[in-house]
Amino acid sequence: MALSRCLHDSEFYARVCQRVSHPHILDPHQDWTDAERYQRLRELEPYRETTPSTSRARTLVQPMLKVLWTGPRRILDIGCDDGSLLSALATHWKVERADGVDTRRTVIERASEAFPSMSFHCMDATASDAASLFAEVDTVILSMVLHHMTSDQREALRVRLRSAPRLRWVLLREHDCDSPQWRDFLEVVHGLYAIHEDHAFVDTYHAEFQTKEEWRQWASTLGTVVKTTDSNSPRIDSGRFINPTRSFCMLVNVTP
Ligand SMILES: C[S@@+](CC[C@H](N)C(=O)[O-])C[C@H]1O[C@@H](n2cnc3c(N)ncnc32)[C@H](O)[C@@H]1O
């Protein structure tokens, strides 16, 4: 759903406001441009860092390391964004080779500049020209990317992962959207990001949020789900959510 529709659909807006700590920021009747509203939203604690950065990556990888603390040698990060998550994981696991792939040229250029020892590729990981990226990898990272894929893309990815000859681990990190309100709320956050952070994201933007159980079902078609963290609890203050990410990590053993 486009942001403008989100914010001008009164029923939808009312539902979103029940879930955010500062609903006035989203008020469509305020005389702000979307960009101003977005900046204000970003100044609030829960939104301060919605894109990866080195310090944020160090925090983000902690639950990932809890489910897979050692072993990966050749890793592929799908939806790698600016590469900071991949860099944090690669250092910890002491990998031989780290590749990142993302559909957005801007973030791939940033990643290549920041982390010259790793390889970054601008392509759709589910497209046929990305097949060679899967030839040698033993570990694939899917951090907050599956919900941006269509069901056709997820199916293409599943087939590709199933046929990757050396693949052992798939490490998944996703939102646990176990209520319609969570879905609506994440749509707004994504919409704001899409409009004001990266215009390319607007053209390609797509999101299908699912519950942890639904993600588990998809993961089970790859292999055995061996570990899953609890979904981290949203922080609630005065009856409103102030931490929008309710996420979990899941480790799948793909070995036949
Ligand atoms: C929400 S961001 C997640 C970034 C990072 N992995 C993290 O966990 O913070 C999702 C990223 O996936 C990328 N993406 C979406 N679909 C993709 C696809 N089919 N192939 C490669 N990258 C994709 C987007 O461009 C975006 O950078």
Between the CA of 63 and the centroid of ligand 1 the distance, in Å, is 19
Residue 29 pLDDT more than 50?
A: yes
**pLDDT given for residue 111 in this prediction:** 94
Between the CA of 253 and the centroid of ligand 1 the distance, in Å, is 22
Residue 176 pLDDT more than 80?
A: yes
Residue 114 pLDDT more than 70?
A: yes
Q: Which of 3-12, 56-65, 237-246 has the highest mean pLDDT?
A: 56-65
224 residue type, one letter: T
Asked whether 6 lines ligand 1 (CB < 6 A), one says: no
Between the CA of 82 and the centroid of ligand 1 the distance, in Å, is 10
Bridge partners, residue 228, by sequence: 250
Please state, in angstroms and rounded to a whole number, the distance separating the CA atoms of residues 67 and 249.
Answer: 7
Query: Residue 250: which region, alpha, beta or left (left: phi > 0; alpha: psi -120 to 50)?
Result: beta
Between the CA of 31 and the centroid of ligand 1 the distance, in Å, is 33
Give pTM, 2 decimals.
0.83
pLDDT tens for 45-82 read 443 444 456 777 787 888 899 999 999 999 999 999 98
Secondary structure of the chain in HEC code, one letter for each residue: CCHHHHHHCHHHHHHHHCCCCCHHHHCCCCCCCHHHHHHHHHHCHHHCCCCCCHHHHHHHHHHHHHHCCCCCCEEEEECCCCCHHHHHHHHHHCCCEEEEEECCHHHHHHHHHHCCCCEEEECCCCCHHHHHHHCCCCEEEEECCHHHCCHHHHHHHHHHHHHCCCCCEEEEEEECCCCHHHHHHHHHHHHHHHHHCCHHHHHHCCCCCCCHHHHHHHHHCCCEEEEECCCCCCCEECCEECCCCCEEEEEEECCC
Please state, in angstroms and rounded to a whole number, the distance separating the CA atoms of residues 250 and 63.
Answer: 10
Query: Residue 76: which region, alpha, beta or left (left: phi > 0; alpha: psi -120 to 50)?
Result: beta
Asked whether 84 lines ligand 1 (CB < 6 A), one says: no
**pLDDT given for residue 237 in this prediction:** 47
95, two tokens: 């990998």
Give the pLDDT mean for 179-197: 64
Residue 142 pLDDT more than 90?
A: yes
* Closest by Cα among 11, 20, 24 to 236: 20
**pLDDT given for residue 123 in this prediction:** 95
Cα of first residue to Cα of last residue in the chain, in angstroms, is 39
Largest Cα–Cα separation, the chain: 58
Domain architecture of the chain: domains with CATH: 3-253 (3.40.50.150)
pLDDT tens for 157-172 read 999 999 999 999 999 9
- If one counts every other C-beta atom within 10 angstroms of the C-beta of residue 5, the result is 12
The average confidence (pLDDT) of the chain is 80
**pLDDT given for residue 74 in this prediction:** 98
**pLDDT given for residue 73 in this prediction:** 97
**pLDDT given for residue 47 in this prediction:** 39
Q: How confident is the model at residue 1 (pLDDT cuts 50, 70, 90)?
A: very low
**44 or 150, higher pLDDT:** 150
Residue 86 pLDDT more than 70?
A: yes
Radius of gyration, CA atoms only, the chain: 18
Asked whether 189 lines ligand 1 (CB < 6 A), one says: no
Asked whether 124 lines ligand 1 (CB < 6 A), one says: yes
